[in-house]
Chain A
Amino acid sequence: MPRIRFTANIQRHVPCPEREVRGETVREVLEDYFSQNQRARGYVLDDQGSLRTHMLIFLNGETIRDRVRLSDAVQGDATLDVMQALSGG
């Protein structure tokens, strides 16, 4: 199963432990994670469900291409890292 990890900086606002998740796209993987951690959603995604402007998601070390629909395909052994972009200060 894919694994998802979160930046340490998000942890003081909302605990986001590393976890195995289900899904075949970045969207599905995130929704699976948020289904057990609703509050984390608003820290990663904006009102329209797109990745926040100053957030990044790395999929096996590469930044995802679709920040709006989050449609990048996720393989079963993938690792996702949800990080903050330095553009956000």
Chain B
Amino acid sequence: MGHLLHIATRKGVFAVERAANGRGWSITGASFLGDNCSMVLRDPRDGVLYAALGHGHFGVKLHRSRDGGSNWEEITAPQYPPMPEGYEPKKHPFFGTPIAWKLELIWCLEPGGASQPGRLWCGTLPGGLFRSDDGGTTWELNRVLWDDPRREEWFGGGYPQPGIHSVCLHPKHPDHLSLGISCGGVWHTTDAGKTWKQHEGGMRAEYMPPEQAFEPNSQDPHRLVRCADHPEVMWVQHHNGIFRSTDGGMNWVESLNVKPANFGFAVAAHPHNPDVAWFVPGIKDEKRIPVDGKLVVTRTRDGGKTFDQLTNGLPQQHAYDLVFRHALDVDESGDILAFGSTTGSLFISENGGEKWECISNYLPPIHAVRFAASR
């Protein structure tokens, strides 16, 4: 059972705990109040807590706590290396503006495998993947991916610059990573980043001309997750649909007729059951609010063929919450779920989404929700 949550918000990092006496969940800690936190990670291997901050003026910073958030130290944030002499930055494929070569956002932070103490992976805007082998003290850009000419074809989805928002480790092979990129589709490495290959097909982009709709590099997976016990099963909440893969993310099948909508950002995969996943839909890309003002979590229990609409405990009138891509999580049991919204609402379910409890309506806009032990 997951009893501790960390919440990254537009104005601080919060801890939410479940009281041992059964009196429910409450906010028990706050750090960096007033500062924009894009991501938080509690490393399950050693309990070290990391918080990525994005100061509007002073840039992206990374902080580390060894005591659960009571005390923090600033550590070196990933840094893009100097641009090669004479290098002409490629132009954005649509807009003709130069693609950035500097850190703009820490979008995801993930621990390496249990056999790789100190290893962290960091996905960033404008599309660089960084690795640390010393618990975030130093970072190195994965040059193979960054120097791949196909990387320069990526384009922004939600931001002007492209970015890596999902790093999914294979639970049995920690050098096998899968990346979700907006917009650049899904990329895989089986050798810790020495070589990369794209997913092969199945994803469909409504926002491209029909002839290019299935181009892998043009796909906008809003979030990529993996079933821990069946790592060949992966899920994507895409810009225009829900997709599932049963071959480790190489080929994808779209879920059809998803009600009330197939648009959203977040997806959580059941850690043990490969047929179960949860989503929090909005109307569509140009109407990023719940359908009819009713906040709904959708759940499939048959691999994406059908979806339940879970509403018990969620507001069913004039609710305009949107749930960002990292703001839905499930604990290791698969029973406890939590999600946080752009309007600062935090909901938790202890029975797979059948019933929800509102923990707060007054938090800042929520970027990420993570159970302490989740991977």
Contacts and interface: CB of A to CB of B under 8 A. Distances in A.
Interface of A: 9-10, 13, 39, 42-44, 46-49, 52, 54-55, 84-85, 88-89
B209 interface: no
Given A47-B102, A48-B83, A42 B57 contact: no
Contacts of B117: none
Given A39-B74, A46-B102, A47-B103, A52 B79 contact: no
Q: Which secondary structure dominates where chain B touches chain A?
A: loop
A89 B55 CA distance: 9
Interface in B69-125: 74, 77, 79-83, 101-103
A47 B56 contact: no
A13 B74 CA distance: 9
Contact of A52 (B57, B74, B77, B80): B57
A46 B58 contact: no
A1 to B, nearest CB: 26
Contact of B58 (A13, A48, A49): A13
A80 to B, nearest CB: 17
Interface residues of B, number: 16
Nearest to B76: A42
Contacts of B103: 46-47
A54 B58 CA distance: 8
Interface of B: 55-59, 61, 74, 77, 79-83, 101-103
A48 B82 contact: yes
Contacts of B74: 39
A-B pairs with lowest CB-CB distance, top 9: A88-B56, A47-B102, A84-B57, A89-B56, A88-B57, A43-B58, A47-B80, A54-B57, A46-B102
Contacts of B82: 48-49
A42 B74 CA distance: 12
B140 to A, nearest CB: 13
- The residue in A39, A42, A43, A47 that gathers the most chain B C-beta atoms within 10 A of its C-beta is A47
A52 B101 contact: no
A28 to B, nearest CB: 19
B101 A54 contact: no
23 contacts: A9-B57, A10-B58, A13-B58, A42-B58, A42-B61, A42-B77, A42-B79, A43-B55, A43-B58, A43-B59, A46-B59, A46-B102, A47-B79, A47-B80, A47-B101, A48-B80, A48-B83, A52-B57, A54-B56, A54-B57, A55-B57, A84-B56, A89-B57
Given A47-B101, A47-B102, A42 B55 contact: no
Contacts of A84: 56-58
Contacts of B102: 46-48
